[in-house]
């Protein structure tokens, strides 16, 4: 045999081995994926074998297609693990609450948390797609600036990093990806809607007309009856007594700066536009409270906008655990048992913070 043919034979042998290895790896990934799918465990760690669990943590199997974006089981599982870690690292016993995901009911509650995590990832994908469609993109610099702002709020970067690691098992990159980025896209799209949605323009005109009427001498109660969308419009908009935590944050900030008899400028909140009048103020049990009336002009809520927008997107779920309900624009369990259990938790929540919060 010609000696020059030997390297060629070796090359063929090595390529055969490599091809065989690639086929084996591909087959392994496919088989594990099928096991995960048919066992209904693509988005759950419950009752998985260790090898299946480890593979599902490494290989990003698609569990949903939202428009043109895939959501992977790896993303769902990582977020669910962080949620579980958060609850299990809290000492809820101090407020008379308990949590245990190891019991039969606890495993079901963890699956409900998994559904919530999965739903949020679908919502985030729609929000990001809409933001980018409207030219509202995020740059790494913008994300880093928001992280820097958060670090300053905590006083020291080490404090935030330690809390992230302890409560969620996250580093700063995880924090950027799971919290900062989705929140910034949400803020951008909310601002865009408020500036461009026709319903907001009409609401701004209405609240501006109410403010002008007040400046022209109309009584507050008459302005309420003419302009307010609130349930208490017929009674002059009186809402009663409130402490700051009982009010919308935007409203509380403005109202507690006022004296009795004064009224606010136009306040914008997630619910709409407000002009609030402080009728009286007092301190009760060492808590400052105010008696208020308001003119309220309702706007489309963000949840309403999101539900309408998601109807424009084709959401395909590749998990035997869940199906997409086009009517409610949300995931629902395929299992009737889990659907019934979830409804029972909603109707009669137990003394468990994972259900209450």
Q: pLDDT, tens digit, for every residue of 177-197? A: 999 999 999 999 988 888 888
Question: If pLDDT is split at 50, 70 and 90, which confidence band does 205 have?
Answer: very high
pLDDT the model gives residue 32: 57
pLDDT the model gives residue 55: 67
Mean pLDDT (the chain) is 83
User: 295 is written with which tokens?
Assistant: 């003119």
- pLDDT exceeds cutoff 90 at 284: no
Residue 97, phi then psi, degrees to nearest 5: -115, 160
In contact, 36 and 61? CB cutoff 8 Å: yes
Q: Are strands 330-333 and 69-72 parallel, antiparallel or unpaired?
A: unpaired
Nearest CA-CA partner of 69 in 60, 79, 58 = 60
Residue 286 CB neighbour total at 10 angstroms: 5
> What is the spatial distance between Cα 269 and Cα 120, in angstroms, rounded to a whole number?
22
Question: If pLDDT is split at 50, 70 and 90, which confidence band does 4 have?
Answer: low
Higher pLDDT, 55 or 236: 236
In contact, 111 and 319? CB cutoff 8 Å: no
Nearest CA-CA partner of 321 in 63, 4, 27 = 63
Higher pLDDT, 307 or 353: 307
Give the Cα-Cα-Cα angle 337, 339, 343 (nearest 5 degrees): 115
Question: If pLDDT is split at 50, 70 and 90, which confidence band does 321 have?
Answer: confident
pLDDT the model gives residue 71: 92
Q: pLDDT, tens digit, for every residue of 141-184? A: 999 999 888 888 776 678 888 888 998 999 999 999 999 999 99
Percent of the chain with pLDDT over 90: 41
Lowest average pLDDT, out of 44-48, 58-62, 293-297, goes to 44-48
In contact, 119 and 75? CB cutoff 8 Å: no
Question: If pLDDT is split at 50, 70 and 90, which confidence band does 357 have?
Answer: low
Residue 202, phi then psi, degrees to nearest 5: -65, -40
In contact, 24 and 303? CB cutoff 8 Å: no
* Angle between helices 104-133 and 302-310 in degrees, nearest 10: 80
Q: Which domains does the chain have, with CATH numbers?
A: 218-299 (3.10.50.40)
In terms of phi and psi (left: phi > 0; alpha: psi -120 to 50; beta: otherwise), the region of 48 is: beta
Higher pLDDT, 249 or 2: 249
Helix, strand, or coil (residue 14): helix
Question: If pLDDT is split at 50, 70 and 90, which confidence band does 348 have?
Answer: confident
- Cα 78 to Cα 85, 168, 304: the distances in Å are 11, 10, 28
Question: If pLDDT is split at 50, 70 and 90, which confidence band does 48 have?
Answer: low
Q: Are strands 315-317 and 287-298 parallel, antiparallel or unpaired?
A: unpaired
- pLDDT exceeds cutoff 70 at 259: yes
Give the mean model confidence (pLDDT) for residues 314-333: 89
Higher pLDDT, 222 or 12: 222
H helices present in 134-286, as ranges: 140-153, 157-168, 172-175, 181-196, 198-215, 220-227, 249-255
Residues in CB range of 232: below 8 A, 6 or more apart: 224, 238, 239, 293
- pLDDT exceeds cutoff 70 at 103: yes
Q: Quote the radius of gyration of the chain (alpha carbons, Å).
A: 27
User: Per DSSP, what are the bridge partners of residue 330?
Assistant: 325
- pLDDT exceeds cutoff 90 at 2: no
pLDDT the model gives residue 35: 61
Percent of the chain with pLDDT over 70: 82
Give the Cα-Cα-Cα angle 159, 164, 166 (nearest 5 degrees): 95
Q: pLDDT, tens digit, for every residue of 111-121? A: 999 999 999 99
Which pTM was predicted?
0.74
pLDDT the model gives residue 52: 60
Higher pLDDT, 355 or 283: 283
Give the mean model confidence (pLDDT) for residues 247-251: 90
């Amino acid at each position: 045999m010609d000696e020059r043919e030997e390297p060629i034979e070796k090359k063929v042998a090595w390529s055969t081995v490599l091809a065989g290895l690639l086929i084996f790896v591909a087959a392994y990934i496919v088989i594990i994926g099928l096991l995960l799918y048919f066992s209904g465990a693509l988005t759950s760690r419950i009752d998985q074998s260790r090898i299946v669990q480890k593979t599902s943590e490494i290989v990003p199997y698609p569990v949903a297609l939202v428009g043109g974006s895939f959501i992977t089981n790896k993303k769902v599982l990582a977020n669910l693990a962080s949620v579980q870690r958060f609850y299990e690292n809290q000492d809820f016993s101090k407020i008379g609450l308990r949590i245990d995901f190891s019991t039969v009911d606890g495993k079901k509650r963890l699956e409900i948390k998994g559904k919530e995590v999965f739903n949020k990832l679908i919502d985030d994908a729609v929000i990001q797609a809409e933001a980018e469609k409207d030219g509202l993109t995020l740059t790494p610099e913008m994300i880093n600036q928001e992280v820097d702002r958060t670090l300053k709020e905590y006083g020291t970067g080490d404090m935030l990093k330690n809390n992230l690691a302890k409560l969620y098992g996250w580093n700063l990159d995880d924090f950027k990806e799971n919290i900062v980025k989705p929140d910034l896209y949400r803020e951008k799209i909310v601002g865009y809607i408020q500036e461009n949605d026709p319903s907001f323009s009409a609401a701004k005109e209405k609240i501006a007309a109410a403010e002008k009427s007040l400046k022209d001498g109309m009584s507050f109660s008459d302005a309420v009856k003419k302009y307010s969308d609130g349930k208490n419009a017929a009674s002059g908009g009186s809402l009663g007594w409130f402490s700051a935590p009982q009010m919308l944050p935007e409203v509380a900030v403005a109202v507690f700066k006022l004296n009795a008899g004064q009224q606010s400028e136009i306040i914008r909140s997630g619910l709409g536009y407000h002009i609030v009048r402080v009728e009286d103020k007092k301190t009760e049990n060492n808590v400052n409270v105010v008696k208020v009336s308001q003119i309220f002009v309702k706007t489309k809520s963000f949840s309403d906008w999101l539900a309408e927008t998601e109807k424009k997107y084709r959401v395909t779920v590749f998990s035997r655990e869940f199906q997409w309900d086009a009517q409610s624009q949300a995931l629902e369990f395929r299992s009737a048992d889990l659907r019934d259990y979830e409804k029972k938790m909603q109707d009669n929540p137990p003394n468990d913070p994972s259900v209450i919060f």
